[in-house]
Amino acid sequence: MTFKKVLATTAVALAMMSSTVSADEIKIGLVVKALGIGFFEAANEGAQEAAKELGNVKVIYTGPTSTTAEGQIEVISALIAQKVDAIAVSANDTDALVPILKKAQQRGIKVISWDSGVSAMGRQMHLNPSSNQLIGEMNIKLAADALKAANIAGGDVAILSATPTSTNQNIWIEEMKKVLPNYSNLNLVATVYGDDLADKSYRETLALLKTYPDLKAIIAPTTVGILAAAQAVKDQGKIGKVFVTGLGLPSELAGHVDSGAVHSFAIWNPIDLGYAATMIAYNLVKGNGSDSKIGMGRLGDAQLDENGEAAMSEPFIYNASNVHKFADIF
Amino acid sequence: MEKITEQKWQLSKDWFKAIKLPWEFFLILITALVFTLCSFASPYFLDVWNLSDATFNFVEKAIVALPLAMLIICRDIDLSIASIIALSSVAMGFAAQYGLGLELIVIIGISVGVLCGLFNGWVVTHFDIPAIVVTIGTMSLFRGISYILLGDQVLKDYPDGFEYFGQGYIYWVFSFEFALFLLAAVFFYALLHKTNFGRRCYAIGNNPTAAFYSGINVKRHRLLLFVIVGALAGVAAVLLTSRLGSTRPTIALGWELSIITMVVLGGVNIMGGAGSIPGVFIAVFLMGIVTFGLGLLNVPGIVMSIIIGGMLISVIATPVLIKKFSHRGS
């Protein structure tokens, strides 16, 4: 009988959660790779800022519990059912989301991808946070900078990525490999995958530290990975010997910058990214913009290339001088 | 005084007898309750197309849940089902890449499932190793092979018409997937409840030794069930691959737990010996409706997992508690 009470209570709670819908309100579904990741929480903050600025826009922030395509499909079909006006997705899989996103477009929903893209058939445009080339170059440059600052001539470096199927991770790793020949003192020995899970990334880092005694730098172009790697380096007493760098969140890494496990790292502003994605989705719904240009509010216009892709801005370096200032923001 | 106590006991006994209705009735009640709650909580719930869309997210799992229920009734279990789906999908992907026709691709997909099931069953029955141990092993084995074969690649050269299995409709809102699930449910209902084969499942599940001495070829029976589970996992792989339109080694990751949840929620005793196909059939819809309803209300997936977990425990605990109290009563 208590079970029914629980059900009744849940129902009341649910009824309260479903807010009233005004007729001309524009609903934008912001779909992320998985909930509970700092980067996406910050993007949501930017999306809410855009919604506030535009007025009469409701951003539905949602995503699966684990970074799977099947989970995102479930979430997207719930958004289609709610008849949202636009969906802006950071995809877990380039291809697997295409059928459901095609269905969304058939039902008159504008679809864009941001951060991690889907194939051109599944969306109207894709917003890259930066250009892949710049990100690849930045990651390698940061590793070289860290060694230089510590007066280390050179040595082995390794990459700690998210899942082997993550679209953006693979492109960045490719770009990193392209610029590596310019840094003769860096020797890439391994690429490992932590699946964007803290514990797995931590274990993979421990394995790297054991396998490669000459390891000098770990590049983790993922916010989950870089944090786990920095923690592992700290726990193993390798501070000053192995430097962790890559893409991370200031609030999560400020402590590791202080301890010295991380010399510097980079990230674009996820708040701006969520803001820009929401602005673009809104402009698509309203029919503003053209095939080559679409507005991103306070961030200016996004220039679309022939594949319907645009870059927001270049990544920004965070180090001891500025990390605490940004740690309060995201 | 004594008489009153006796009468009270008599009363409580009657009460427990009265609610000792079949499990299926209890499930239908809860399902109807949840359905009603959802239709009040969201204006988008009672829409045939939305409900039809929602079925896509659980029928593939449900198709595997049916034979798995029989396997669990037989005191066995198969934890490798999701990995079988992955391996079978990878095989179909390669078959498609080599330009094989539609029928051949489907046959290959199901055959790989059959072979995986055969391997599970053979190891379990031939070496007399507990099924849970063997299938934990093959869970990693089959998934591992998929990763080795595919790495971070994607297979998506499926021929025209292949998308019908996972995306097509046979009539109006009734999808091919859903129709196939109904057909499978009827088949497994007949198999478990109307044939000697089904009665042997209960006999083995209740007492394998007694079943053996009463002339049942227990090993062959169990082996056959593993093969059937594998075959249906192969069928699920065809549907899921067709729905996603592509194959990656992460396909159906983590599905084994949601499928087992469906079976257990359906009233199948995890220790074997008891359970029914109608129970599993209703449980599948209960899970589907809860997930879809909460999705429409944009309840975060983490909260959704908590609710489903709580539901599972309450539903399982209720009969146990009733039994305990009715025992004390008599």
Q: Give A173-205 pLDDT, tens digit per residue.
A: 999 999 999 999 999 999 999 999 999 999 999
Q: Is residue A147 one of the residues assigned to a domain?
A: yes
B113-145: per-residue pLDDT in tens? 999 999 999 999 999 999 999 999 999 999 999
Q: Are A229 and A301 members of one domain?
A: no
B246 to A95: CB separation less than 8 angstroms, yes or no? yes
Q: Is residue A28 one of the residues assigned to a domain?
A: yes
- Residue B40 has its nearest CB partner, among A15, A73, A81, at A15
A130-157: per-residue pLDDT in tens? 888 889 999 999 999 999 999 999 899 9
A17 to B298: CB separation less than 8 angstroms, yes or no? yes
End-to-end CA distance of chain B: 18
Q: Is residue A150 one of the residues assigned to a domain?
A: yes
The per-residue DSSP string of A63-107 comes to: --SSS-HHHHHHHHHHHHHTT-SEEEE--S-TTTTHHHHHHHHHT
Q: Is residue A19 one of the residues assigned to a domain?
A: no
The minimum CA-CA distance between B32 and chain A, rounded to whole Å, is 12
Quote the pLDDT of residue B1: 44
Quote the pLDDT of residue A224: 94
> Residues A252-261, buried b or exposed e (16+ Cβ, 10 A)?
bbbbbbeeeb
Q: What is the mean pLDDT of residues A240-247?
A: 94
Residues of A whose CB is below 8 A from B301: 35, 63-65, 71, 75
Q: What is the mean pLDDT of residues B266-287?
A: 92
Provide, rounded to the nearest whole percent, the portion of chain B with pLDDT above 90: 73
C-beta of residue A104 within 8 angstroms of C-beta of residue A111 = yes
Quote the pLDDT of residue A122: 93
Q: What is the mean pLDDT of residues B251-259?
A: 93
Nearest C-alpha in A relative to B249: A165
Q: Is residue A124 one of the residues assigned to a domain?
A: yes
Q: How far apart are CA B225 and CA B244, in angstroms?
A: 28
A71 touches chain B (CB under 8 A): yes
For chain A, the average pLDDT equals: 89
B316 touches chain A (CB under 8 A): no
Provide, rounded to the nearest whole percent, the portion of chain B with pLDDT above 70: 92
Domain that holds residue A254: 132-267
Q: Are A287 and A215 members of one domain?
A: no
Q: Is residue A224 one of the residues assigned to a domain?
A: yes
Residues of A whose CB is below 8 A from B30: 7
A99 to B315: CB separation less than 8 angstroms, yes or no? no
State the CATH number of the domain containing residue A223: 3.40.50.2300
Q: Is residue A166 one of the residues assigned to a domain?
A: yes
- Residue B154 has its nearest CB partner, among A70, A83, A95, at A95
Here the tokens at position B30 are 């809860």
> pLDDT at residue A17 above 80?
no
C-beta of residue A45 within 8 angstroms of C-beta of residue A274 = yes
Q: Is residue A317 one of the residues assigned to a domain?
A: no
**Using 50, 70 and 90 to split pLDDT, how confident is the model at A18?**
very low
B307 to A10: CB separation less than 8 angstroms, yes or no? yes
Quote the pLDDT of residue A2: 53
Q: Are A280 and A228 members of one domain?
A: no
> pLDDT at residue A7 above 80?
no
Nearest C-alpha in A relative to B247: A96
Nearest C-alpha in B relative to A18: B297
Top residue of A12, A25, A44, A70 to mutate, by most chain B CBs within 10 Å, is A70
> pLDDT at residue B11 above 70?
no
A93 to B296: CB separation less than 8 angstroms, yes or no? no
Quote the pLDDT of residue B260: 95
Q: What is the mean pLDDT of residues B266-278?
A: 91
The minimum CA-CA distance between B298 and chain A, rounded to whole Å, is 7
Here the tokens at position B303 are 């909260």
Portion 92-151 of B in contact with A at CB < 8 A: 147, 151
The domains found in chain B, sorted by start residue, are: 55-318 (1.10.3470)
Q: Are A43 and A110 members of one domain?
A: yes
A68 touches chain B (CB under 8 A): yes
Residues of A whose CB is below 8 A from B297: 14, 17-18
Q: Are A303 and A154 members of one domain?
A: no
Report the alpha-carbon angle A155-A159-A165, nearest 5: 160
A248-305: per-residue pLDDT in tens? 989 999 999 999 999 999 988 888 899 999 999 999 999 988 888 899 988 888 888 8
Domain count, chain A: 2
B178-188: per-residue pLDDT in tens? 999 999 999 99
> pLDDT at residue B237 above 70?
yes
Output A272 or B87, whichever has higher pLDDT.
B87
Q: Are A244 and A200 members of one domain?
A: yes
Q: Are A306 and A250 members of one domain?
A: no
For chain B, the average pLDDT equals: 90
B248 touches chain A (CB under 8 A): yes
Quote the pLDDT of residue B16: 46
Q: Are A125 and A250 members of one domain?
A: no
pTM attached to this predicted model:
0.79
- Residue B300 has its nearest CB partner, among A6, A35, A99, at A35
Quote the pLDDT of residue A205: 96
Q: Are A49 and A162 members of one domain?
A: no
Q: Are A158 and A141 members of one domain?
A: yes
Quote the pLDDT of residue B14: 52
Q: Are A182 and A295 members of one domain?
A: no
Q: Are A240 and A114 members of one domain?
A: no
CB-based contacts of A156, cutoff 8 Å, min separation 6: A187, A188, A189, A212, A214, A215, A216
A116 touches chain B (CB under 8 A): no
Top residue of B250, B255, B291 to mutate, by most chain A CBs within 10 Å, is B250
Quote the pLDDT of residue A312: 86
**Using 50, 70 and 90 to split pLDDT, how confident is the model at A6?**
low
Residues of A whose CB is below 8 A from B246: 93, 95-96, 98
Residues of A whose CB is below 8 A from B147: 164
A54-100: per-residue pLDDT in tens? 999 999 999 998 889 999 999 999 999 999 999 999 999 999 999 99
A70 touches chain B (CB under 8 A): yes
Quote the pLDDT of residue A1: 43
Domain boundary among A267, A283, A304: A267
A11 to B301: CB separation less than 8 angstroms, yes or no? no
- Residue A93 has its nearest CB partner, among B151, B248, B296, at B248
CA nearest neighbour of B150 among B92, B204, B225? B92
A68 to B253: CB separation less than 8 angstroms, yes or no? yes
